[in-house]
């Protein structure tokens, strides 16, 4: 339901955008509130394009059917850079909403107070993921990488991973196009592989 998006910089010194603003002609329900908005409205959502906070996916037990522990660790980067980018994003979003003709359509506008501490408290209470997870089993040349540069799972013959989890870093945008590129590259690698004998990768 995102009808428009803007990619922008929070600093003129940056060589590429670090912030996205997503626009929706409906209210986004908060987590746990269901899927039906409480009323009419618009949503402007600031997004950190390359967050520095790092989550984790961990095994809970040796049972393969036991769901893993997924820890998002949102806004946990020690330098506070993610919080700074989002704070700038909230202020830019409010500036957009205060500009005509949008301002004339808005009867009320819930917003944090004027201080950075107010914005930070607002973000910690309301920030959520947009579910573009990636980089959980990143490819690489070292034996610490889950998959090698040909997307083969180390230590398991005949198995490749082809999705956003193999990205070594998070791209500055939506993952649809990069995942399509990965899939097309993987198809080429598999076609090339069928003409040659296969060998197992050494276990890490």
pLDDT bracket for residue 186 (50, 70, 90):
very high
DSSP E strands, 114-162: none
156-172 mean pLDDT: 92
pLDDT at 123 over 60: yes
Q: Is 0.85 surpassed by the pTM of this model?
A: no
- The helix or strand, by DSSP H or E, that contains position 6, with its residue range, turns out to be strand 4-8
177-191 mean pLDDT: 94
| 4-49+80-126: CATH number | 3.30.410.40
* DSSP-assigned states of every residue in 29-52: PPTTS-SS-SSS--EEEEEESS--
Active-site position among 9, 40, 126, 132: 132
pLDDT bracket for residue 135 (50, 70, 90):
confident
Closest by alpha carbon to 164, among 182, 185, 187? 182
Query: Residue 193 and residue 204: Cα distance in Å, rounded?
Result: 22
Tell me the pairing of strands 19-24 and 4-8.
antiparallel
Name the more confident of 199 and 28.
Answer: 28
Query: Residue 114 and residue 121: Cα distance in Å, rounded?
Result: 12
99-111 mean pLDDT: 84
For the chain, give every domain's residue range: 4-49+80-126, 132-196
pLDDT in tens, 52-99: 998 888 999 999 899 999 888 889 999 999 999 999 999 999 999 999
Under the phi-then-psi rule, with left for phi > 0, alpha for psi from -120 to 50, and beta for the rest, what region is 162? beta
Residue 132 bears catalytic tag:
yes
Closest by alpha carbon to 50, among 93, 91, 2, 9? 9
Average pLDDT in the chain: 88
Query: Residue 95 and residue 44: Cα distance in Å, rounded?
Result: 11
Query: Residue 171 and residue 151: Cα distance in Å, rounded?
Result: 18
What pLDDT is stored for residue 203 in this prediction?
57
């Amino acid at each position: 339901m995102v009808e428009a998006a803007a990619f922008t910089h929070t600093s003129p010194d940056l060589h590429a955008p670090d912030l996205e603003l997503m626009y929706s002609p409906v209210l986004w329900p908060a987590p746990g509130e269901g899927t039906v908005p409480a009323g009419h409205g618009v949503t402007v959502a600031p997004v950190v394009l390359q967050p520095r906070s790092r989550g984790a996916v961990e095994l809970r037990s040796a049972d393969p059917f036991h769901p893993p522990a997924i820890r998002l660790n949102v806004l946990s980067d020690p330098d506070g850079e993610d919080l700074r980018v989002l704070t700038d994003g909230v202020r830019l979003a409010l500036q957009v909403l205060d500009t005509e003709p949008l301002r004339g359509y808005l009867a009320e506008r819930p917003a944090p107070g004027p201080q950075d501490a107010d914005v930070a408290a607002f973000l910690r209470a309301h920030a959520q993921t947009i579910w573009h997870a990636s980089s959980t089993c990143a490819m690489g040349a070292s034996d610490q990488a889950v998959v090698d540069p040909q997307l083969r799972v180390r230590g398991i013959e005949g198995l490749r991973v082809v999705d956003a989890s193999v990205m070594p870093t998070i791209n500055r945008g939506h993952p649809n196009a990069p995942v399509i590129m990965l899939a097309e590259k993987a198809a080429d690698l598999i076609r090339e592989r069928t003409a040659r004998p296969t060998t197992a990768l050494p276990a890490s």
